[in-house]
Amino acid sequence: MVFKHQHFHETPPEVEAEFPPSATLEGAVSDALASAGGIDASDVTVTASGSTITLAGTVLQESEVVRAEEVARSVPGVTDVRNEMRAKGLAGF
């Protein structure tokens, strides 16, 4: 019996890098938002599509919208953030 080294059409196999699973990335961004200061993320939803994060929901102030995007972008594995959040404002108070 003859032993042959593994080859794929005479070239070594390539390993492709994959994005982290969506649930893991969503959880990491949600955790980061929950622990970040300056954001009430209780009405914010986080959805991952590959390495793109979509933030949706409402917060009280426009500054929280900006801060949430900054926090999401800082999470390892996130390459893009779609920010669909809205600020309620303090009208009526």
What SS3 string covers the chain? CCCCCCCECCECCCCCCCCCCHHHHHHHHHHHHHHCCCCCHHHEEEEEECCEEEEEEEECCHHHHHHHHHHHHCCCCCCEEEEEEEECCCCCC
Q: Mind listing the pLDDT tens digit for each residue in 25-82?
A: 999 999 999 999 889 989 999 999 989 999 999 999 999 999 999 999 999 999 999 9
Answer whether 0.75 is exceeded by the pTM: no
**In whole angstroms, how large is the CA radius of gyration of the chain?**
21
Calpha distance 3→6 (Å, rounded): 9
Decide which of 3.30.1340.30, 3.90.1150.10, 3.40.50.11900, 3.30.70.100 is the CATH code for 22-87.
Answer: 3.30.1340.30
Give the confidence band of 13 by pLDDT, cuts at 50, 70, 90: low
Q: Which pLDDT value is given to residue 92?
A: 46
Rounded alpha-carbon distances, angstroms, from residue 72 to 24, 45, 79, 93:
13, 12, 10, 30
Between 32 and 16, name the one with better pLDDT.
Answer: 32
Is 20's pLDDT higher than 90? Answer: no
